[in-house]
A and B are shown apart, each in its own frame.
Chain A
């Protein structure tokens, strides 16, 4: 395989995510500095005024997300980024965004916790936190790129999903991807992967943004009628809450995005996501070079869990290896899908280092 004679871009994940957002039409960003997400903030605050957009640093994460939600109700295409400690402070406003059904894209550049943790080492410890970060347990969408071109294209896709589902959409990335400069093929940045399209029209009926001479709107974080009026009617509340759950829950197949690399006759499947999927790919290449039969699944859409896709890959599989930089957060999701006879093996690291391909190979030979 020769990659020579191609133009290469030297770029890090922060720039790729910022460009992905700008190219998706983002015109409002508010955020608060935190390593390893600060570079996204600085890119957005520098770039947005150039194109007539607004970028500002809030006094904290709470106000930053508050500004974003307010701007979204006035018609802005909004974006913000933080890391785990900032996500803690975003929590209540994420609930508000779910309740008000405003499109909202949030990049989470994960670092090793808990709390301030090992500032600043890479991690994937917020995978369950993103899903369950706010009261009520309503679904959100989480996409996880494994490299820089995917960071660009998945950010772009996140905006389409946010608009269609009128919901918070997370980009689950990490310090390694955001802050490492890599050479990537220019063509991979320019040409979107062959992913299924996201439909343009919003699911259900969205509220229009506030507008002079427009229809009068009430946006509220309280249970409300379709028109945005607060209600205490149990039937309307139940119907509304069911709809919030189902608008994402019923569309898993449309949201589902994975990369499968299945090998005929393999009885071991390796499942990974984000930066750990890169070590998986190296391990799979090496194992196959050694004559082993092994399949691999990269999950891009972590939430809602692409269950049908995962179940499809589990056919005939006796053993699943799941490398992730936490104590086994996504393994829980695989566990509930896999047949009880399937052996589940986690490859986990929380010591500031990336998972190495060798560790995955070791787990394979067990």
Chain B
């Protein structure tokens, strides 16, 4: 038994409760106060997070920290508080209404397993707004919004928490003598804990449906929703799991940029806009990066955009590269100066762009992709004879090599250096082999 430090955690100066006569909420708040007393917790280490609805009136009755947020979201705030400061004991007070609008948060909090305790004040309808039906309203019930009887299947809140990984799940009623002990058990559980506490809403549900304590217990039996602890399993809480992740991650290097020295030079005088158009799997974007990096190594300024479908390994892949003697301001390409077509998918994708090209612009095309609907000068990609067998290995790198030779924007050595600096050693070796055909 822990030495109590306070007789009560209720802020007595704010009593009496403003709940309706006969409402069960006060009983549950009293049980929570008794549980906190049993545990001897300092009020400053407890945060009570309340949802919206009548239960949302509760935070002012406690001498602990409190958080009163938006409808259905209480669990998300509670998780955030607990994640940031695990020293705090975090308790959510939420109604059946909050479990409806925030149902997705409820089941995901059970999965996430932050060490919080959720007390559901389940009185089968919306009290604060005039007794409308909620997710737990029993079938055929009369409420303000089901005047001829509810037709929706009621949600099993405890069951939902249980099947979604909730470590401690219990069902109880506001009338249970052992409710403080049950709350203490839930709070002692290291991880997500929920007690679905059944209650009476004397203002609306009770009077409209002749639903007293006896009827509530009968309903519990008829639904096979037994009370007591329904699930008690141990699995590492979020805090424990994440500590492991932090430990592993702390051994990794922090993110760093790719910084290049400008050891080569170039004498181009105006921006050149290049589009590489191919298919997924052809390493088009990677070749775009090589060209941009080679230009950067040569003291030029670059931007590189990539365009591909949201699915991978299928469809087009396009890289748009702007290479400029001055920092690139406008990075778009409405009309390329140079386009390289290396797959039918890419050719089709940029047909709009190639059409806008002028006679002074050049389209390079791979086998079978010529005859472009464009006034631009059209030339085949003529790889060195020795490189032809490499076409299937990496046509994009070959194209980057070819364009570098043809366009003369920067030294070929800069492209080779880009391969060495930005690609992984194994891939760099292959690509340097491919580029060797141009020497």
A191-224 interface (Cβ within 8 A of B): 209-222
A/B interface sample: 14 pairs, CB < 8 A: A10-B289, A49-B245, A67-B76, A69-B80, A70-B80, A74-B85, A176-B332, A179-B305, A212-B45, A219-B66, A278-B329, A278-B331, A282-B330, A353-B334
- The reply to whether B83 and A54 form a contact with Cβ atoms under 8 Å apart is yes
**Chain A residues within an 8 Å CB radius of B331:** 176, 180, 182, 278, 354
Name the one of A1, A11, A66, A222 contacting B80, with C-beta atoms under 8 angstroms: A66
- The reply to whether A7 and B261 form a contact with Cβ atoms under 8 Å apart is yes
Question: With A and B bound together, what is the CA distance between A80 and B364 in angstroms?
Answer: 44
A79 CB, nearest partner CB in chain B, Å: 13
**Chain A residues within an 8 Å CB radius of B255:** 15, 18-19, 22, 43, 46-47
Stretch at the interface among A55-63, A124-132, A163-171, A306-314: A55-63
The digit string for B329-344, where 1 denotes a CB below 8 A from any CB of A, is 1111010000000000
Q: Knowing A281-B329, A356-B332, say if A67 contacts B68 (CB, 8 Å).
A: no
- The reply to whether B69 and A4 form a contact with Cβ atoms under 8 Å apart is no
Looking at A60, A180, A189, the one whose CB has the most chain B CB atoms below 10 A away is: A180
B30 within 8 Å of A (CB atoms): no
> How large, as a class, is the contact surface on chain A?
35 or more
**Chain A residues within an 8 Å CB radius of B326:** 1, 3
A contacts, CB < 8 Å to B: 1, 3-11, 15, 18-19, 22, 28, 30, 35, 43, 46-47, 49-52, 54, 56, 58-60, 62-63, 66-76, 92-93, 96, 119, 176, 179-184, 186, 189, 209-222, 229-230, 278-279, 281-282, 353-354, 356-357
B67 within 8 Å of A (CB atoms): yes
- The reply to whether A70 and B59 form a contact with Cβ atoms under 8 Å apart is no
Question: With A and B bound together, what is the CA distance between A179 and B80 in angstroms?
Answer: 29
**Chain B residues within an 8 Å CB radius of A278:** 329-331
- The reply to whether A210 and B332 form a contact with Cβ atoms under 8 Å apart is no
In the complex, besides A220-B66, A221-B68, 10 extra interface pairs with C-beta distance below 8 angstroms are: A7-B260, A9-B259, A50-B246, A180-B305, A184-B327, A210-B88, A212-B42, A212-B85, A213-B44, A278-B329
Name the one of B70, B88, B305 contacting A74, with C-beta atoms under 8 angstroms: B88
**Chain B residues within an 8 Å CB radius of A189:** 257
B33 within 8 Å of A (CB atoms): no
**Chain B residues within an 8 Å CB radius of A357:** 329-330
B108 within 8 Å of A (CB atoms): yes
The digit string for B397-427, where 1 denotes a CB below 8 A from any CB of A, is 0000000000000000000000000100000
**Chain A residues within an 8 Å CB radius of B73:** 62-63, 66, 92-93
A147 CB, nearest partner CB in chain B, Å: 8
Name the one of A4, A52, A66 contacting B76, with C-beta atoms under 8 angstroms: A66
Considering only CB atoms, which chain A residue lies closest to B57 in the complex? A230
**Chain A residues within an 8 Å CB radius of B88:** 74, 210, 212
B252-304 interface (Cβ within 8 A of A): 252, 254-255, 257-262, 265, 289, 292-293, 295-296, 299-304
- The reply to whether B70 and A183 form a contact with Cβ atoms under 8 Å apart is no
- The reply to whether A70 and B79 form a contact with Cβ atoms under 8 Å apart is yes
Name the one of A50, A69, A183 contacting B250, with C-beta atoms under 8 angstroms: A50
Name the one of B84, B104, B257, B327 contacting A10, with C-beta atoms under 8 angstroms: B257
- The reply to whether B81 and A9 form a contact with Cβ atoms under 8 Å apart is no
B355 CB, nearest partner CB in chain A, Å: 15
B60 within 8 Å of A (CB atoms): yes
**Chain B residues within an 8 Å CB radius of A76:** 80, 84
B318-374 interface (Cβ within 8 A of A): 326-332, 334
Question: With A and B bound together, what is the CA distance between A279 and B252 in angstroms?
Answer: 40
B77 within 8 Å of A (CB atoms): yes
B105 within 8 Å of A (CB atoms): yes
Question: With A and B bound together, what is the CA distance between A60 and B85 in angstroms?
Answer: 22
- The reply to whether A74 and B84 form a contact with Cβ atoms under 8 Å apart is yes
Question: With A and B bound together, what is the CA distance between A47 and B43 in angstroms?
Answer: 35
B194 within 8 Å of A (CB atoms): no
B contacts, CB < 8 Å to A: 42-45, 47, 49, 59-60, 63-70, 73, 76-85, 87-88, 104-105, 108, 112, 242, 245-246, 248-250, 252, 254-255, 257-262, 265, 289, 292-293, 295-296, 299-306, 310, 326-332, 334, 422
- The reply to whether B84 and A66 form a contact with Cβ atoms under 8 Å apart is no
Question: With A and B bound together, what is the CA distance between A118 and B77 in angstroms?
Answer: 33
Question: With A and B bound together, what is the CA distance between A191 and B80 in angstroms?
Answer: 34
- The reply to whether B258 and A11 form a contact with Cβ atoms under 8 Å apart is yes
Name the one of A8, A11, A210 contacting B81, with C-beta atoms under 8 angstroms: A210
Q: Knowing A74-B80, A353-B334, say if A59 contacts B104 (CB, 8 Å).
A: yes
- The reply to whether A71 and B70 form a contact with Cβ atoms under 8 Å apart is no
- The reply to whether B85 and A221 form a contact with Cβ atoms under 8 Å apart is no
**Chain A residues within an 8 Å CB radius of B104:** 59-60, 63
- The reply to whether A212 and B257 form a contact with Cβ atoms under 8 Å apart is no
A293 CB, nearest partner CB in chain B, Å: 20
Name the one of A50, A184, A218 contacting B65, with C-beta atoms under 8 angstroms: A218
Question: With A and B bound together, what is the CA distance between A96 and B248 in angstroms?
Answer: 35
A279 CB, nearest partner CB in chain B, Å: 5
- The reply to whether B302 and A62 form a contact with Cβ atoms under 8 Å apart is no
Q: Knowing A49-B246, A60-B104, say if A183 contacts B80 (CB, 8 Å).
A: no
- The reply to whether A220 and B67 form a contact with Cβ atoms under 8 Å apart is yes
Considering only CB atoms, which chain A residue lies closest to B87 in the complex? A212
- The reply to whether B87 and A222 form a contact with Cβ atoms under 8 Å apart is no
Q: Knowing A6-B262, A7-B262, A15-B255, say if A66 contacts B67 (CB, 8 Å).
A: no
Considering only CB atoms, which chain A residue lies closest to B304 in the complex? A181
**Chain B residues within an 8 Å CB radius of A75:** 84-85
- The reply to whether A8 and B260 form a contact with Cβ atoms under 8 Å apart is yes
Name the one of B249, B259, B328 contacting A49, with C-beta atoms under 8 angstroms: B249
Question: With A and B bound together, what is the CA distance between A179 and B69 in angstroms?
Answer: 35
Question: With A and B bound together, what is the CA distance between A60 and B107 in angstroms?
Answer: 12
Name the one of A8, A50, A70 contacting B67, with C-beta atoms under 8 angstroms: A70
Name the one of B42, B47, B60, B327 contacting A213, with C-beta atoms under 8 angstroms: B42
Q: Knowing A19-B255, A213-B42, say if A219 contacts B67 (CB, 8 Å).
A: yes
Considering only CB atoms, which chain A residue lies closest to B41 in the complex? A212
Q: Knowing A43-B255, A93-B70, A354-B330, say if A216 contacts B63 (CB, 8 Å).
A: yes
**Chain A residues within an 8 Å CB radius of B257:** 9-11, 15, 19, 186, 189
Question: With A and B bound together, what is the CA distance between A10 and B260 in angstroms?
Answer: 8
**Chain A residues within an 8 Å CB radius of B329:** 278-279, 281-282, 357
**Chain A residues within an 8 Å CB radius of B254:** 22, 47, 50-51
**Chain A residues within an 8 Å CB radius of B296:** 8, 10, 183
Considering only CB atoms, which chain A residue lies closest to B43 in the complex? A216
**Chain A residues within an 8 Å CB radius of B303:** 180-183
**Chain A residues within an 8 Å CB radius of B78:** 70
**Chain B residues within an 8 Å CB radius of A10:** 257-260, 289, 292-293, 296, 302, 422
**Chain A residues within an 8 Å CB radius of B76:** 58, 62-63, 66-67, 70
